[in-house]
Chains A and B, each alone.
Chain A
Amino acid sequence: APPGGGEERELALALQEALEPAVRLGRYPRAQLEVSALLLEDGGSALAAALTAAALALADAGVEMYDLVVGCGLSLAPGPAPTWLLDPTRLEEERAAAGLTVALMPVLNQVAGLLGSGEGGLIESWAEAVRLGLEGCQRLYPVLQQSLVRAARRRGAAAQP
């Protein structure tokens, strides 16, 4: 499939906006860091997964960062009492009235990125969704930390002759 479709460009921009505040770009003055995310299967919350994977890949590559970036997806289930669902599946996303992806830098507790669209209703509803998303990101953070530590240990053990 030819690259640069409309949706891909929007998501690529969202990825860039969310990752930039986390990377110490000042340490790489004349360099270009190319981050390429390939979606093999869309089971829901694809952008959130791509954000998290990209931040982990940068950390694994040894790029200096202020903090990781954790992404979390949400979608608004339609109906008489609309509720926000955390980490929706593809089916839930398709039936949703609105969708939201939040990106959080967990240690600094700062929002790195926010992308949402749809008919969400009241402002309080969106605020609630963002709060839910940020909580989700915080819950994911320990898992990511552990996986980075494990990978670093593996690399250290392999490097020892």
Chain B
Amino acid sequence: MAAGFKTVEPLEYYRRFLKENCRPDGRELGEFRTTTVNIGSISTADGSALVKLGNTTVICGVKAEFAAPPTDAPDKGYVVPNVDLPPLCSSRFRSGPPGEEAQVASQFIADVIENSQIIQKEDLCISPGKLAWVLYCDLICLDYDGNILDACTFALLAALKNVQLPEVTINEETALAEVNLKKKSYLNIRTHPVATSFAVFDDTLLIVDPTGEEEHLATGTLTIVMDEEGKLCCLHKPGGSGLTGAKLQDCMSRAVTTVYFKIHCILEKCMLMCHQHFMKNFKSMA
């Protein structure tokens, strides 16, 4: 009976839940779905992370390669993000060149990297004007159930924390780069930007971490990216219903609590477990 009503009048069905201040999956309006992080699962990548926000699954792989620094910034390297939404994650995507949503997500991640200064690009330079690191960050969505931007940002952060770059020295005589694979070091992650997405309903109600169905019924979406110092890195509001200043401020304060939760509770614990696992294996090999 309820399933029939949901098919015929999805918005009304949803409003009945919102009136009771909850959602069909049992969450409150301000509650996130269960977040799972798995770091370092892809051994062929220099750094990798898998993030699950409820059913939404995003995997991020980082590959580091050599490149010549840009002529207008000879002491900087590059970070090149790419978000891929393949047909296997949702029936709304077709195979072929990246669609609109994938391009928007890629640009969003590029903006987050640029604005938050998650990595100082000067750290990626090996020899000014001659050689620098370029980090190709590939984010692939494996299962699309809403809130792709939050999952991508978190996966990127976790993967970058997992990246280990070998030491590179330039041989003075031959002017060639020599890579020492035995001496690897982690990247210097300066800030930890975390995204919080909201969906706007009927121009007034705000819900956190929308699922795919909720995004479809919403009248607007909003994504706020904050770092752990409470600095605003990025605000993404692609059209949709307008929001008052007070509502926006409320969203930002909610975003700050998410940052604390995601970074300290989840990421730090995960990094610690990953490091312990790595040290245990390293000791058994030595």
Question: A residues bordering B, Cβ < 8 Å?
Answer: 1-3, 34, 36, 38, 40-43, 90
Q: Which residues of B contact A1 (CB under 8 A)?
A: 82, 138
Q: Which residues of A contact B88 (CB under 8 A)?
A: 36, 38
Q: Which residues of B contact A36 (CB under 8 A)?
A: 86-88, 95
Bound-complex Cα distance A127 to B283 (A): 45
B110 to chain A, nearest CB (A): 17
A3 x B59 contact (CB < 8 A): no
Bound-complex Cα distance A40 to B88 (A): 13
The 8 Å CB contact of A38, one of B45, B97, B142, is B142
With an 8 A cutoff between CB atoms, is B34 at the interface?
no
Bound-complex Cα distance A90 to B42 (A): 14
* With A3-B95, A40-B59 as contacts: A34 and B87 at CB distance below 8 Å: yes
B138 x A38 contact (CB < 8 A): no
Q: Which residues of B contact A43 (CB under 8 A)?
A: 43-44
* With A3-B95, A3-B96, A36-B95 as contacts: A42 and B87 at CB distance below 8 Å: no
Q: Which residues of A contact B43 (CB under 8 A)?
A: 41, 43
Q: Which residues of A contact B42 (CB under 8 A)?
A: 40-41
With an 8 A cutoff between CB atoms, is B149 at the interface?
no
Those 10 A-B pairs whose CB atoms lie nearest each other, nearest first = A36-B88, A41-B42, A36-B87, A41-B44, A38-B88, A38-B86, A40-B42, A3-B95, A36-B86, A34-B87
Q: Which residues of B contact A40 (CB under 8 A)?
A: 42, 59, 61, 140
B 25-53 contacts with A by CB, 8 A: 42-45
Bound-complex Cα distance A38 to B50 (A): 15
- Known contacts A1-B138, A43-B43; 8 additional CB pairs below 8 A are A3-B95, A3-B96, A34-B95, A36-B86, A38-B86, A38-B88, A38-B140, A41-B43
* With A1-B138, A34-B87, A36-B88 as contacts: A42 and B97 at CB distance below 8 Å: no
Bound-complex Cα distance A30 to B96 (A): 22
B141 to chain A, nearest CB (A): 10
Residues 63-92 of chain B, each 1 if its beta carbon lies under 8 Å from chain A, else 0: 000000000000000000010001110000
Bound-complex Cα distance A3 to B142 (A): 16
Q: Which residues of B contact A3 (CB under 8 A)?
A: 95-97
B145 to chain A, nearest CB (A): 17
* With A36-B87, A36-B88 as contacts: A42 and B95 at CB distance below 8 Å: no
Bound-complex Cα distance A2 to B97 (A): 7
Q: Which residues of A contact B45 (CB under 8 A)?
A: 41
Residues 240-265 of chain B, each 1 if its beta carbon lies under 8 Å from chain A, else 0: 00000000000000000000000000
Bound-complex Cα distance A42 to B42 (A): 9
